[in-house]
Amino acid sequence: MVILDGKKTSEDIKNEIAKAVKNRKNEGKKTPHLAAVLVGSDGASMTYVNSKVKACEKVGFNSTLIELPENTTEDQLLDEIKDLNKDKNIDGFIIQLPLPKQINEQKVLMAVDPNKDVDGFHPVNVGKMALDLSTFLPATPYGILELLERYDIETSGKNVVVIGRSHIVGRPMSILMSQKRKVGNATVTLAHSRTSNLKEITAKADIIVAALGIPEFLKGDMVKDGVVVVDVGITRVKDDTKKRGYRLAGDVDFNSVSPKSAYITPVPGGVGPMTIAMLLKNTLLACERNES
């Protein structure tokens, strides 16, 4: 069993990005600048945003964190987005999800300039992704593709099962894996909450991407020997033995699945750090595109 080390791989990618930024600076070109908007004070969201900002600093990007109160109205957030769309200094920006319930998430994501949509959530970018045109790929699926590629994992002709059909992970993952691309050409099954006989489906899978948000859902008796397992789940599970009062759990029961796996991602240290690295990659791409 080989651990797909997202922490190390993401460090490699960040080093490559840092080198590119250094070269840009030496050539007198613009320093990439990512902005992140956080509405409210949800603990997990604050942790994610802060790690994104920290990652920007590490690769030499400029970063701006815009923190808005929990009671921000939809109009106020839309005004903030208008300003970011216009700001020539900002190459790309993200709106940290989830948003408070008074704000329509879809409306907000639609307001982001597709050229600055480094999360790849705008319908224009989702459409381009589905048509295999050059665009910003959503960071989590992009990170998974990159991890599989850097570990030389063959996907062509393989049976891939993606569990979870969210707009940000499961659905784009299923589309990308079926495309004619280096990491792709797979026969994909997209499973979700209404899928029946999931165990029969996962037992035939060569590669499983678990993205459903139910801790330790995928068990050893649901997979075949030699399977490749990518665990996207991150759930905070109460744990009084930890100083912070919780532990992070993936969607895969690592103890029973890992002995049967050829490759498996850990949680933490798997898909999470890859997501941040690919957000940085998209920001660099946005910066390069905006100047041409």
Structure tokens given for 176: 């990308």
119 catalytic per annotation: yes
Pairing type for strands 227-231 and 207-210 reads parallel
Do β-strands 235-238 and 246-249 pair in parallel, antiparallel, or remain unpaired?
Answer: antiparallel
Assigned token pair, 77: 């957030």
263, 153 Cβ separation under 8 angstroms:
yes
Plot region of 175 (φ>0 → left; ψ -120 to 50 → alpha; else → beta): alpha
**Which of 193, 204, 255, 291 lies at the binding interface for ligand NAD (CB under 6 A)?**
193
In the range 273-292, which residues lie near ligand NAD by CB under 6 A? 275
Burial class (CB in 10 A: 0-12, 13-18, 19+), 181: middle
Piece of the chain touching ligand NAD by CB under 6 A; list 18-26, 33-41, 255-263, 270-278: 270-278
257 touches 205 (CB < 8 A) = no
**Residue closer to ligand NAD, measured from CB, 24 or 218:** 218
Report the residue from 141, 170, 172, 266 that binds ligand NAD according to the rule CB under 6 A: 170
Query: In this chain, which of 4, 13, 153, 211 binds ligand NAD, going by CB under 6 A?
Result: 211
Give catalytic status of residue 96 as yes or no.
Answer: yes
Give least dist CB 174 to ligand NAD, A. Answer: 11
Q: Which of 52, 116, 117, 281 is catalytic?
A: 52
Q: Kindly list the catalytic residues.
A: 52, 96, 119
Q: Which residues bind ligand NAD (CB under 6 A)?
A: 140, 163-166, 168-170, 191-193, 195, 198, 211-214, 232-235, 271-272, 275
